[in-house]
Structure 1
């Protein structure tokens, strides 16, 4: 039995020029749909608007989640860079605060990115690699914060990502104002501290 189709671009192969143009066109149309307020990402409709066959879209993006991952790749790389910078800061706890605030703001701005960030399974190998890089940077940051006694020992990088996604859901369901965001972040940070 065959598994899901993985786009050739994620396997490291170079796409033919026409395939690369088609992929770029599909991503452009999907971004335009999102900008217009349509976050349904219906692959058949995107194929029609992009002027390509449905099979072409499905070859590059076997499902909506794969398309969301591709659309979120730049944002995810930005988050990984921020996590790596936070892991190198002199004050690990301040770096963690800054990283959590940054990640939450990006997740609230972009529900598709939030869905990719919280997903337990990835459609693209590239997304899994980015999550692994993110978790490594956050693990380094947590280890440094633990050395100063600022973070409890039983919390891992993946836990922090899931907790942050929970806050994103809570804010999306209610008041997303800056004051409420700070309250929720404070609750998370307090929960990360060792028991007194």
Structure 2
């Protein structure tokens, strides 16, 4: 990327972050272009749509989730189910705190290369954690990382649609974990 293009991209991201910080989550690309002092075409060249911009903004948070998942997988030898619970609670908390992050985690496709790589890293760490929990007899066979991520996104949606009640989040998380156990 040319130096001027990199500066323009950084400026667009900075303005978009400022808009989010001020409570404007619309991320209107035309508005961001005007506020960043660049042409609309410049914004669309870097971010073809609102979701692409959101993915770029959430990359750091997504990386933090991947790091948390790797740490959970690495430390799961002693108590894989407890590590899984901590990871899911951490992820759900992030989703409920940041609707933009939740939208990126929930999106099924259209991800840019960085988001796709982060999703693959997350699924890899989660798969390792699930394998350890499965060996411990705590997780049923046939449940994969993508399944857990989708179910957790469903919980996030259920909590948000019900008024963001933290008590419901914990109850729903308990139901999910119980459902992941092998049949009795």
The verdict on a shared fold, with TM-score over 0.5 as the criterion, is yes
1:118 to 106, 112, 115: 106
Shift of 1:175: 3.3
The runs of at least 4 consecutive aligned structure 1 residues that moved more than 4 Å come to none
TM-score by length of 1: 0.90
Alpha-carbon RMSD = 0.9
CA offsets per residue over residues 10-61 of structure 1, 9 Å max, x none?
xxxxx22211111111111111111111111110110001100001101110
CA drift of 1:159 comes to: 0.3
User: What is the alpha-carbon distance in structure 2 between the residues aligned to residue 119 and residue 32 of structure 1?
Assistant: 23
Aligned to 2:131: 143
The reply to whether residue 47 of structure 1 matches residue 33 of structure 2 is yes
Q: Does 1:21 align with 2:7?
A: yes
- In structure 1, list runs of 5 or more residues that go unmatched: 1-14
In structure 1, how many angstroms separate the alpha carbons of the residues matched to 2:111 and 2:4?
23
**Cα drift, residue 123 of structure 1:** 3.3
Distance, in Å, in 1 between the alignment partners of 2:86 and 2:10 is 33
In structure 2, the gaps of 5 or more residues are none
Task: Quote how far apart the aligned CAs of 1:119 are.
Answer: 0.9
- Written as runs of structure 1 = structure 2, the 5 A alignment for 1:93-132 is 93-132=81-120
Q: TM-score, normalised by structure 2?
A: 0.96
What secondary structure, in the 3-state scheme, does the structure 1 residue paired with 2:51 have? helix
Q: Distance in 2 between matches of 1:48 and 1:61?
A: 15
Q: Which of these residues, 172, 180, 188, is aligned with residue 176 of structure 2?
A: 188
